[in-house]
Structures are given as structure tokens and as C-alpha cells.
């Protein structure tokens, strides 16, 4: 399933072309305007749950996430009985290609910050390459996810953490795309910095319903 928010890079057109060859296994959901990363994933999650998939993955469609690693995330859940398997850039050092040093430092420090605030023992808290068992997504009230930017990744992991699901990290190499531009913005950074604190405080006072 590819969720496309009217992307100017021709993603939807390319997917429609490939659907002629993979009509039983490649699906496209087109949305008008930029509705945010988080809502795109939630649309995809709900679609997968309706189709009764047992293992549900999220990943970037620009090959920043290597499709060959899908089987490793799957095995972590299916064979090793994890509930959530994260394709981690930082579990074995820093495994990032094509990022400038300031972006690497920002990402790594963000994960340090999230670990400190939330208490989650996860090295790559902002990772977007994840395999969920369906029961995890069924247990989380997806309609109450608050974040729409990259902090969405943090919130999903924190929800699973609060529910005591087994979360593991699988080392992967993240290779950033050489075309296109980053969607990072001041608003997204602010959402992550202040939203994480608010999220943690709500959990401490039992005001968060997962």
C-alpha cells in the first residue's frame, strides 16, 4: 500500500503503472493536499487491519529503507516473538548514508532526548522502518494519535511501550535519497521537542488512553 498526498515527484503515476503488473499486491491510496506523515500511516494501518494482515510494516517509499531488510523485521516478530520490530539506525553505532553531519547529530540527539524524557530503552526512537503485529495496532486507539509530523514515530513507540509490548531493534543502514527535499521544518521540530514532554506528563498522571 502506497499512500500519496498529491506528491509532485510522480509517485502516484509510477504506482499506477506498476499496478498493471502487480494488480493483486500493489495498492494506492491518493489523498488531496499535505495532511501529514502521521495521518498517512494511520490510513495505511487501518487499511491493513481491515484486510486482516497479521504483520503490518511502515517504511519510506524512496528506498531510504532497504526492502531487503523487510524479512529481518518480519523474522524478529514471527520467529523471535517481538511485538514491534524497529529498523534501527543507531543500535550498532550510526548507520546513515548521505546525511550531512548536522542532520545525523540532530537525529541522534533527538533519540537521546526522547529516551531521557520517556524512559524507553530504544536507541532509534524516531525510526520510520517498523513492523507491527496486528494486535499492537488494534490495541492502540489510532484515532487519538496526536502527532502528525515525525513525532508520530515517537508516539507510536511510546504507546506500544506503555502497553508493555515487546519492542526490539534490528540494525539497518539508512541511505537517504539523493533527489527531493527534506520535509523537516521548525514546526515539526517544535512538535517533537514540546510534544514529547506533554506526552510523558500525561502518561504520569494517567490521563493518556492508549
pLDDT tens digits, one per residue of 99-134 = 999 999 999 999 999 999 999 999 999 999 999 999
Within 10 A of 18 (CB to CB), how many other CB atoms are there?
Answer: 13
Question: What range defines the domain where residue 164 resides?
Answer: 54-204
Q: For the chain, how many structural domains are there in total? A: 1
For 122-171, what is each residue's pLDDT tens digit?
999 999 999 999 999 999 999 999 998 889 999 999 999 999 999 999 99
Residue 197 belongs to domain with CATH number = 3.90.550.10
Residue 47 included in any domain:
no
Start-to-end CA distance of the chain, whole Å, equals: 25
How large is the greatest C-alpha to C-alpha distance in the chain, in angstroms? 52
CB-based contact 154:37 (threshold 8 Å): no
- Reading the block at residue 15, the C-alpha cell is 504506482
Amino acid at each position: 500500500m502506497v499512500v500519496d498526498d498529491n506528491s509532485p515527484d510522480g509517485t502516484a503515476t509510477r504506482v499506477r503503472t506498476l499496478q498493471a503488473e502487480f494488480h493483486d499486491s500493489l495498492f494506492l491510496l491518493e489523498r488531496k493536499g499535505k495532511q501529514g506523515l502521521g495521518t498517512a500511516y494511520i490510513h495505511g494501518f487501518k487499511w491493513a487491519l481491515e484486510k486482516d494482515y497479521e504483520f503490518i510494516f511502515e517504511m519510506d517509499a524512496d528506498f531510504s529503507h532497504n526492502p531487503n531488510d523487510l524479512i529481518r523485521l518480519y523474522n524478529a516478530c514471527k520467529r523471535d516473538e517481538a511485538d514491534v520490530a524497529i529498523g534501527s539506525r543507531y543500535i550498532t553505532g550510526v548507520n546513515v548514508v548521505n546525511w550531512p553531519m548536522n542532520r545525523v547529530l540532530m537525529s541522534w540527539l533527538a533519540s537521546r532526548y526522547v529516551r531521557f524524557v520517556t524512559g524507553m530503552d530504544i536507541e532509534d526512537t524516531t525510526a520510520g522502518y517498523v513492523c507491527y503485529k496486528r494486535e499492537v495496532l488494534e490495541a492502540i486507539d489510532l484515532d487519538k494519535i496526536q502527532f502528525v509530523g515525525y513525532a508520530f514515530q515517537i508516539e507510536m513507540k511510546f504507546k506500544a511501550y506503555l502497553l508493555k509490548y515487546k519492542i526490539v531493534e534490528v540494525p539497518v543502514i539508512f541511505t537517504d535519497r539523493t533527489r527531493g527535499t527534506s520535509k523537516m521544518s521548525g514546526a515539526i521540530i517544535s512538535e517533537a521537542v514540546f510534544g514529547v514532554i506533554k506526552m510523558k506528563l500525561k502518561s504520569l498522571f494517567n490521563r493518556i488512553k492508549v
